[in-house]
Amino acid sequence: MFELNNLTATGEYFLLITGELLGLFVGVSFLIAALQEFIPEETLRRFLKRPSKWLGNILGAFFGAITPFCSCSTIPILVGLLNAGAPFGASMSFLIASPLLNPVILGLFLMLLGWKVMMAYAVITFIAAVLVGAIWESMGLASDYKAGVLQSGCGCNCSGVLETIELLTWQEKMKRAWGQTWILFRQVFPYLLVGAGVGAFIYGFIPEEFIIRVAGPNNPWAIPVAAAVGVPMYIRVETVLPISSVLLDKGMSLGALMALVIGGAGASIPEITLLASIFKLRLVSIFVITILGIAIIAGYLFQALQATLL
């Protein structure tokens, strides 16, 4: 059923992309974990309490962007920030930016899709995070936060950074950074393998005509459907990005791909479940609608810019 040439090409692609992804992930994750050893949560709260509202939102999005967490492991840190009095809008900018925009994701974009796509994605998601935080605060949604302590996470075992840091030596901090990198690596490794495997299979066996018909630029429903599908599928960015370059080569539109990435990474079912325990229903609903809106708007922007970016 499978031709030998296709199997060989699939295997070669899998080995190549897996090696590149693992090397990139370990290197970037260690650098960020080392940086976070010197940024305790108290420092984050102090920066977010700057007097300028817009500066607080910008800083919230920035700190979200240097935390390589999955979406649901962001929530315990968010609870700590809100309970300690961090501004609501800045904290919401952190919530939006953390799963969508971090150095690991940007590194994957750079390696697989090029610097233009990486920069466009970074700018769009960063601006969206800043604006969402400011808008939600102006709407008075801070009252929808049910102050308390989050008792459980999503089981991904990647929380624990940005905590209050003890007086440790430089060597001890580097050891902790490597330990955090290893935890993240064990968590993400299966997703990277799945992504590389699926990408290799598509590369070797899925015809271009099928991809173009389902998710090509001529399908008017491709972008909103991709955004909506991303949420229940809980698509890790580390899984979908290894597939992305192959899908684009096969004819998938850049807009549909970006909608899928943002919808899946920004609002997963485990994250929504955790948010429901700390937010009232109104804010949870607004969160889901907002992420879908960002995914769809970004999708159409990338669609319009595809010829320039690729």
CB 163 within 8 A of CB 133: no
Q: Coil, helix or strand for 279? A: strand
* Span 191-246, pLDDT tens digits: 667 666 665 666 555 655 666 666 677 777 888 888 887 766 655 666 667 777 77
pLDDT at 159: 47
Closest-CA residue to 248 (of 146, 57, 116, 84):
116
Q: Please tell me the distance from the alpha carbon of residue 308 to that of residue 299, in angstroms, as a whole number.
A: 15
From the DSSP assignment, how many helices (H) and strands (E) are in the chain? 14, 0
pLDDT at 169: 72
pLDDT at 122: 94
pLDDT at 193: 72
pLDDT at 162: 47
Q: Please tell me the distance from the alpha carbon of residue 10 to that of residue 167, in angstroms, as a whole number.
A: 50
pLDDT at 208: 56
pLDDT at 120: 94
Q: Please tell me the distance from the alpha carbon of residue 166 to that of residue 238, in angstroms, as a whole number.
A: 32
Give me the residues of the chain with pLDDT under 50, please.
1-5, 151-153, 155, 157-165
